[in-house]
Amino acid sequence: MGKAEGKGCGNKGCTSPEENGWSKADECSHAEEIVNDDEGAVGGQKERGLEFAKFFCNGWQEAILLITSVGALRHCVAATKTRHWLRVSYKTNIPVKLGLLILVLSVAVVVFLATACRFRQNPSLQETIEFMQRSLKQHNGQRIQQPQLAPDVNVIANLSSEGCKLTYQVTQFETVQYDLPDIDPKSIHLKQIGNTYWAVFRTMNFGKSVRYIHPGDPSSDYSAEDGGFSLDSKEVAESFAKALGHAVTACGGKSSTF
Residues facing residue 175 across a β-bridge:
169, 213
Residues 146 and 24 in one domain: yes
Range of the domain at 220: 18-37+124-250
Separation of alpha carbons 220 and 209, rounded Å: 16
| Residue 12 is assigned to a structural domain of this protein | no
pLDDT at res. 187: 97
Residues 63 and 145 in one domain: no
Residues 77 and 148 in one domain: no
Contact 257, 42 (CB under 8 A): no
| Residue 10 is assigned to a structural domain of this protein | no
| Residue 9 is assigned to a structural domain of this protein | no
Residues 30 and 57 in one domain: no
Residues present in the chain in total = 258
- The phi and psi torsions of 233 (rounded to 5 degrees) equal -155, 160
CA dihedral 169, 174, 179, 182 (to 10 degrees): -140
Residues 132 and 229 in one domain: yes
* DSSP 8-state class, residue 29: P
In the listed set 121, 140, 163, which residue is the last one of a domain according to the structure?
121
Positive/negative CA dihedral, 66, 123, 204, 25: negative
Number of domains within the chain? 2
In the listed set 99, 121, 143, which residue is the last one of a domain according to the structure?
121
Separation of alpha carbons 254 and 87, rounded Å: 60
Residues 101 and 135 in one domain: no
Residues 142 and 239 in one domain: yes
Residues 173 and 221 in one domain: yes
pLDDT at res. 104: 73
Q: Per-residue pLDDT for the chain (258 aa), expressed as one digit of tens each?
A: 444 333 444 445 555 665 555 444 343 333 333 333 333 333 444 445 445 455 555 555 556 556 655 665 665 555 555 554 445 444 555 555 666 677 677 667 666 665 655 555 689 999 999 999 999 999 999 999 999 999 999 999 999 999 999 999 999 999 999 999 999 999 999 999 999 999 999 999 999 999 999 999 999 999 999 999 999 999 999 999 999 999 999 999 999 999
In the listed set 121, 143, 177, which residue is the last one of a domain according to the structure?
121
pLDDT at res. 4: 38
3-class DSSP assignment, residue 41: coil
pLDDT at res. 73: 60
Residues 30 and 155 in one domain: yes
Q: If we measure between CA atoms, which residue out of 244, 64, 18 comes closest to residue 7?
A: 18
> H/E/C letters for each residue in 59-101?
HHHHHHHHHHHHHHHHHHHHHHHHCCHHHCCCCCCHHHHHHHH
Contact 229, 16 (CB under 8 A): no
